[in-house]
Amino acid sequence: MRVLVVDDEELMAAAIAEGLRQESFAVDVAHDGARVPAELADGGHDVLILGLPRAQGDEVCRRVVAAGTGVRVLMLTVFVAETDRLAALAAGADDCLGKPFVFAELVARVRALGPRLVGTGATTGHGSP
C-alpha cells in the first residue's frame, strides 16, 4: 500500500514515514499542502495522512476529494474536541486521529483505509494480489 504523509512538522513527518516503512508501506513525504496535487497526480497513493494546521488541512482535504483522486484521507489534528473532528470529516476526511497518538493505532487506521481484496479481507497494494 502506498501512503503520502503531509505534515508541516518535518520531524513528525519523518517519524511517521519511517514507522510506516517498517510496517512495509511505501511512503512519500511532503511538508506543504500546496504539493499535494502534484504528489497525487500519478494516482498511485492509497492513503493520504494530513497533519497540517486545521484551516490548511481542511482546504487540502476538500481539494483532494473534489479532484476525485479516490485516495482515502486520514487527518491528524491537535484539535481533539468533537466539533474539530466533525469539521475534518465534513471537509471530506475518511478518518481523524488526534495528536499525540499511539503509533500502532495510526497503522491500524491506515490499514483499515487501504484497499482490500474482495472476498478475502486481505489488503494489497496497487496491482498486487
pLDDT, tens only, 31-70: 999 989 888 988 899 999 999 887 889 999 999 999 998 9
Backbone angles phi, psi at 101, to 5 degrees: -135, 165
What backbone phi and psi angles, to 5 degrees, belong to 14?
Answer: -65, -40
- Quote the cell numbers at residue 73: 484521507
Under a CB-based contact definition with an 8 Å cutoff, are residues 110 and 49 in contact? yes
- Kindly report, residue by residue over 19-34, the tens digit of the pLDDT: 999 999 999 999 999 9
Query: Confidence band (pLDDT; 50, 70, 90) for 127?
Result: very low
Greater pLDDT, 118 or 44: 44
Backbone conformation region of residue 79, classed left if phi is above 0, alpha if psi is from -120 to 50, else beta: beta
Q: CA-to-CA distance for 71 and 55, rounded, in angstroms? A: 20
Asked if 14 and 6 touch (Cβ cutoff 8 Å), the reply is: no
| pLDDT surpassing 90 at residue 109 | yes
Share of the chain above pLDDT 90, in %: 61
**Are 65 and 73 contacting, i.e. CB atoms less than 8 angstroms apart?**
yes
DSSP state of 96: E
